[in-house]
Each structure stands twice: as C-alpha cells, then as structure tokens.
Chains A and B, each alone.
Chain A
Amino acid sequence: MTQRPRAPLEPALHRIVQRVEELPGTTTLTLMPVEERDRLASPCPGQFAMLWSFGVGEVPISFASVGSRGELRHTVRAVGPVTSQLANAEPGDLVGARGPYGTGWNFEDLRGFDLILIGGGLGLAPLRPAIEVIGARRDEFNNVVLLAGARSPSEFLYIGELGKLCRDAQIEFRPTVDHLPSVDDLARWHGHVGVVTELIADAVAQPGRTKALICGPEIMMRYAARELCSAGVDAAAIQLSLERNMHCGIGICGHCQLGPLLICRDGPVITYDVVREWLEVTEL
C-alpha cells in the first residue's frame, strides 16, 4: 500500500502491541502503525524517531531494533513528562511516531575490520540493532567484541538477552559494572567491575584494523574515544552516537547544535575525527 504523504511534523499513529519492563522505569515498547499506509520508512540502526504522547509532547528515541513490517521498537526511560507517559503506556494505547531521522551506524565502513562496540547505560539501546545487523552480516567483519557497562547489575539494560544476542551473532560479550552495591550482586556478578573504558586497551588487538561504535553518556564516550585513540585506533574509525536536545528532528528548531553540527541532521552517529574538537569545549 502506498504511504500517505504527511506533513513534516505530523506523527503517524501507532498502537503499542507489546510492553516489556526492562528495568524499573525503563520499558521497551513495540509499536505497530494503526494504518498500514502510515508506516514509517524502514529505519537504519542508530537513527531515531520522535515519539509523541497525546497531550504531553514529543521526545527523540533511538530504534532499539529494526524489525520488519513497520514494527517499531523503542526503549524508553522515564525521566521527564513525555518519557514517563510513554514508559508507563500499556498495550493497546496509541502513540505517535515520526521519522526515521538522523544518521545511522555506517556498517559499510566496518567491513573487514575488528569491531569494538562500547555501550553504557541506556546507550546500549541504539547498539542493540547494530548487534542484530552485525550478526546477520557476520562474514563481513572480523573479531567483534561488545564492551557493555552499567552502574550496577540491577541497572544493566538488556542483561537478560545480551548474552544470547551476542552468542548468536558470534560477538564476544564483556560486561562490566561500576560497582556492586549489594551482597546479592557480589554473589551473582561474574563480569568485570569498573568503568567500561578500563576494558578498551585489552580489546584492541590490531589498532590499524579496528573500528569502534560507541554510545553512552557523553563523558563515557569522550574517555572511551580517547582511550581508543591512545591504543592506536584512528579517530575516523570511531563512530559515536551523540545526544543533544533533538526537538524537531529535521533541523528547523536549532536546539541540538554542537558547534557547527546539527545533531538531528548531521548525527546522531558521527565519527570522532569530526566531533572531537567540539566535544572538548565545555558548554558548547
């Protein structure tokens, strides 16, 4: 069926068909277009959609999976009014979605290389579809490792499925947590303890043949990119998924600027050689 032309800022109605509570306050929603003709164009991993809660507003949320048939999957953490409304929505509820917007992970650039995926906290969400794509196209890449971090085991996004996802995709999975706050955690956690950047130097086997995808808190990405560079990885070989206040998604509202960049349009995925100088300036 042909898609109905929509005004640039007009959301397409979607119905929540599945809701999975990943962590307290963090929910993965699966959305289906109410009408087939309102289906969004197929997103690329790393891109984002503007999700709309009726009467509350819109937020930019990355695609946590790039399923077929117009199905959208997003992991939402309840932080502000819109994300709270979305994270607490139930199957059957209607939400709006428009997109996909921005740049996705550049997989073509990764072919034939060792890959290091580095994710922290909710930053694992945009990496999740990258794991799916890498798994589906596994022959094109050499060794692939996922360095995934969270504050504590109970705040580890997708902890139940990441191991299996990585096994299926033949990706080495190295989880780490900043600390183990409880006795239970001490008993159960078998991964590394410390910040994710501590795992980087070990993961780089042949720096000239290594590319990296990073998503997480900005400070983590800054240190991770620096660490990769000091291990000999080229800045242009590092893709970051940046976050700014993406408000319109199409570069007409001005909120998401970082130096000369409009993150909604030039990003969110940008190589480190392009953004390094801007990330180093405070309050830019």
Chain B
Amino acid sequence: MAQDHSASSLPAVLNRTVFDRLLADLRAGGFRLIGPTALDGVIAYQTIHSAFEMPSGYGDAQEAGSYQLVDHGDDLLFGYASTAQSWKRHLYPPHETVLTARRPRVDNHWQPSVNAAELALDGESEGIPVQIRTPTEAGQRTALVGVRPCDLVAIGVLDGVLAPTDAEGDPFYASRRANCFIIAVECGAPADTCFCESMGTGPGVDSLPSHAAQADIVLTEVPGATSRDPLPDWTGPTQLVARPLTPAGMELLTSLEAEAASEDLLQAARQVVMRSRKRMNRTLAQHGIRELLFASLDHEAWAFTSSRCLSCSNCTMACPTCFCASFSDASSIDGTEVRRERRWDSCFSLDFSYLHGGVVRRSVEARYRQWVTHKLAGWFDQFGHSGCVGCGRCITWCPAGIDITEHVAVIRSATAGSATQLATSIAESVGRIPRPDVRQEES
C-alpha cells in the first residue's frame, strides 16, 4: 500500500495517543526513553516507557530558594519550567567508573615486583602484572524526551567541554551523546527564575546559538481552551505540534502518518513562544559581561552576596553545564583491584583548589566569585561562549536564594559600589525568599 510520506504532512499534530506511538516507535527501535516524571515533589527526568508516565497536568512554582510542584489538573504534558535535575545527570552521571585495574596478589607486598612470566593473565596483556581496563560504554541508544531550548544549549555547552572536536574529551560522555535522539519542546511555562530570553537560549528553538545541541524533533505544546492557561486565539484542544529538524526526526515523524497542523494551530504555536518571551521575569544583560566581571574582581558585591552563601554547591549540582569533577582511586581491601571513579565536584568545595601546601580559594567569597566569573566570563575564553543558559536552576535551588542575575545587575549598575545600594538590594532579595510557614499555607 503506497503512502505519501512527503513533508507535506508536516509540521504534524500529535495528540496524546499519537505522541505515545512516537515514543513506542523509538523504543521499538532500541531506544531507552528518558523523560519528565513527577517524582519526590519535583519534575525529574527519569527512564520512562510511555507518554502516560509523564506528568500530565503538573506545573511548578519556582522562586529564589523555592520550588513547588503544582497540580493544575489540566492536560498539558509540558506545563512546567526547568526541572530539579538537568540532563547532565544522564549524560554525565554524578559518579562513574572510568578505569579499572588489577594486579595479582603478591605476598601482601603492596608494590608488584613479581616475575611477569609466572603470571597467567588473560587476554592481550599477558605477561604484565598490572592490567588496565577502560570500561567500554555500551552506548545504548537513548531518546531524550522533552528537552527545553535552554537545556539544548546546555547540552551543547557540555559537548564543547567534554566532547570537543579538536581535543581529547570524556569518551563516556561522547559515546552517550553520539547515541542520543533528542525531542525538544519549546517552552510555554517559564518560571519566575527563568532568564533564557536575555541569554538568547530560548524560549523557542529558533535562533538558538550555534553551539546548541541539535534536536531531531521539536514540539510545541499548544494549550487547549479548557487548560489552566489557554491562548486567546486557540479554541481547540491541547495539541502537540511536531517539526522535524534532522533526517532521522523527519523519518520518524512521517512514519507516524499524523495529520498536518492547520495554519491556525501553527499560529497558536508561535504565540506560545511569544507569550513565554513576554513572561520572562528576570534578565541577565550580556553586553560586555566578560569584561565587566573581570574588571570587577575586587568589587564589594562579591563580599555582600557571598556573605549569604553557604558554599553548599547546590547551584553547581543543579546547573546543567557545571562540569567540574574529581577522579579518585579506590582499591579493594587486598590491594589487587582498583577502580578510578569520576565524581561531580564543585568549585565551592574547600579542597577543590588544593595545591601542595594549601588551598588557593580559602574564602567563600573567592569561591563564589570563581563560580560566577567562570560561568559568565572565563567560559568565553575557554570554550568560546557563555557557560550560562538562563535556566534559573541555580536561583531556585540556592537555599539562601542567591540570584546570579541580581548579583550581576548590582555589579553592572553600581560599578562605584555604593554599600547602601548593595545592602538594600540584598535585603529585598532575602525578603523574597518564602518562609517555610508561608509555603505550608500555600500547599
């Protein structure tokens, strides 16, 4: 039976059932699915098996130092902003064995000093009393379902660090990335903490910076008339509009034989992005930011802001681009086996800048300054673009409600640094952190 699989049926409309068929097709093609779920009071990216495990009707309320999962009771699959954990967790796990080595037990002597010829070791390294094995990543094909534009850029930023085209990188990360199929979703629900608009990293996928990760399919969720937050000009039901961005995405979408989106629906999809743009609450002005920050290393704002910083490293864990890691060897109790583990580390750890004889960045102020200047300034020198994508996670997940956009604005506006202005600004910021009792009442 001949079917016309031309691009004329695209962009396609996917209702929940068709969208679920898309996911089923990916699974049938050998892809593991990672997508949003409502778990432990947050939206979290987890392994999923169908669209029906996704957090339909859920949204979030995010502010500096506060995250609340909200049940809107409508039928949106993507009615929330940045998730608690980013895709980094799946592409670059918090800890991973990157190397194993073993050597024979030799009379409890710590150093191997046996005659190699006496050993019967398996494989290629016969005759060598220490064997090194680098775990080969199976490279399971993985589909990332529901990647926001800011997170597309974040994955691209990680690519630049961990899988550079012109240098060595992290082979495990590179292997995972090479096996990714990405379904992006334009943002229709920015949180109070979001500032992608000012970073040029969202809320739509058009005109993202060139280092953004390539999505295969991009969705736009148009809220239906009965949803909590309908569009003025769309009276139909909630729909997903799907556009292919790669040949693989095109192949998958056309094979669904879904209905083509009407011009009205496409117009509504564009409105979703435009509305999100207007709803963006925070900004982080980018002009001259590298020069501004590097010229302000002795600004008093660092001391003011960091006086609230607990140096807990939550911001670096939640950040979708913070890549700092430590490697450590752990050996078995008889000393014959060793595993080298890579673990996420943070520039907020005291020993992160350890050098024989001491630590370079002893004060919290220096560590906070390191994080902000690396993210927003040094990243340009090291990798050619900003390390920030405006997802707002560091603001939401800071237990002290420290706001990077506000900190930079203070430096920008008060280059002379009036102490009163800084104190006022910080007092206002602290005042915005919801107190626990208030949160109790709301929930």
A binding-site residues for B, Cβ under 8 Å: 6-11, 13, 34-35, 54-58, 79-80, 89-90, 92-94, 96, 243-245, 247-248, 250-255, 257, 259-262, 265, 281-284
Q: Are A261 and B329 in contact (CB under 8 A)?
A: no
Does chain A have a CB within 8 A of B171? yes
Q: Tell me, rounded to whole Å, the shortest Cβ–Cβ distance linking B178 to chain A.
A: 15
Q: Which residue of A8, A56, A255, A260 contacts B378 across the interface (Cβ within 8 Å)?
A: A260
> By the criterion of a CB under 8 Å from any partner CB, how many residues of chain B are at the interface?
56
Q: Are A284 and B366 in contact (CB under 8 A)?
A: yes
Q: Are A96 and B347 in contact (CB under 8 A)?
A: no
Q: Tell me, rounded to whole Å, the shortest Cβ–Cβ distance linking B193 to chain A.
A: 24
Residues 287-300 of B, flagged 1 when their CB comes within 8 A of A and 0 if not, give: 00000001001100
Q: Which B residues touch A6, using CB under 8 A?
A: 134
Q: Given A7-B171, A8-B171, do A255 and B353 touch, yes or no (CB 8 Å)?
A: yes
Known: A252-B162, A257-B370. 13 other contacts (CB 8 A): A8-B168, A8-B170, A13-B132, A55-B331, A58-B327, A90-B111, A94-B111, A94-B129, A245-B352, A257-B378, A259-B373, A260-B380, A283-B363
Q: Given A93-B112, A250-B168, A252-B170, do A55 and B345 touch, yes or no (CB 8 Å)?
A: no
Does chain A have a CB within 8 A of B361? yes
B binding-site residues for A, Cβ under 8 Å: 98-99, 101, 103, 110-113, 128-130, 132, 134, 161-162, 167-171, 294, 297-298, 323-329, 331, 335, 338, 340, 345, 347, 352-357, 360-363, 365-366, 370, 373-374, 377-378, 380-382
Q: Tell me, rounded to whole Å, the shortest Cβ–Cβ distance linking B376 to chain A.
A: 11
Most chain B Cβ neighbours within 10 Å, of A243, A255, A265: A255
Write 19 A-B pairs (CB below 8 A) sorted by A numbering: A7-B171, A8-B169, A56-B329, A57-B329, A89-B111, A94-B130, A245-B355, A245-B360, A252-B169, A253-B323, A255-B324, A255-B345, A257-B347, A259-B294, A259-B378, A260-B380, A261-B378, A281-B297, A284-B366
Q: Tell me, rounded to whole Å, the shortest Cβ–Cβ distance linking A89 to chain B.
A: 7
Chain B residue nearest to A52 in the complex (CB): B329
Q: Tell me, rounded to whole Å, the shortest Cβ–Cβ distance linking B348 to chain A.
A: 12
Q: Are B128 and A35 in contact (CB under 8 A)?
A: yes
Considering the chains assembled together, what is the distance between the CA atoms of A243 and B327 in angstroms? 19
Most chain B Cβ neighbours within 10 Å, of A9, A10, A254, A261: A254
Q: Which residue of B103, B132, B381 contacts A11 across the interface (Cβ within 8 Å)?
A: B132
Q: Which B residues touch A254, using CB under 8 A?
A: 323-325, 345, 347, 374
Chain B residue nearest to A56 in the complex (CB): B329
Q: Tell me, rounded to whole Å, the shortest Cβ–Cβ distance linking A8 to chain B.
A: 4
Q: Tell me, rounded to whole Å, the shortest Cβ–Cβ distance linking A163 to chain B.
A: 28
